[in-house]
Amino acid sequence: MRFVWRPAAVDAFYSLTLTNREGQLVWRGNTRDTLLVLDPEVRLDAGAPYYWYVDALLDTGESPTTGVHRFTAR
């Protein structure tokens, strides 16, 4: 599974958070790219809803977010 988002700025640092329906952390990944691939060791329950968002850290100290996105695992 791939997560893709728009860049916030040049050289931004991104932290993607994936949670389950209860808001429990399922996985977190960090990158300077605008794409992260889910760790293959993470198993998602088919038919279950999951939520993800990306927070960016900019050189200015600002931290914009993508907002929460929902998907259902297959």
Q: Are 17 and 25 in contact (CB under 8 A)?
A: yes
| DSSP assignment string, 20-63 | ETT--EEEEEEESSSEEE--TT--PPTT-EEEEEEEEE-TTS--
**Rg (the chain; Cα; Å):** 13
Per-residue pLDDT at 16:
98
pLDDT tens, residue by residue, 3-17? 999 999 998 999 999
Residue 54 exposed, middle or buried by CB count within 10 Å (0-12, 13-18, 19+)? buried
pLDDT tens, residue by residue, 40-73? 999 999 999 999 999 999 999 999 999 999 999 9
Protein fold of 2-72: Immunoglobulin-like (2.60.40)
pLDDT tens, residue by residue, 21-35? 999 999 999 999 999
Domain positions in the chain: 2-72
Tell me the whole-structure pTM to 2 decimals: 0.93
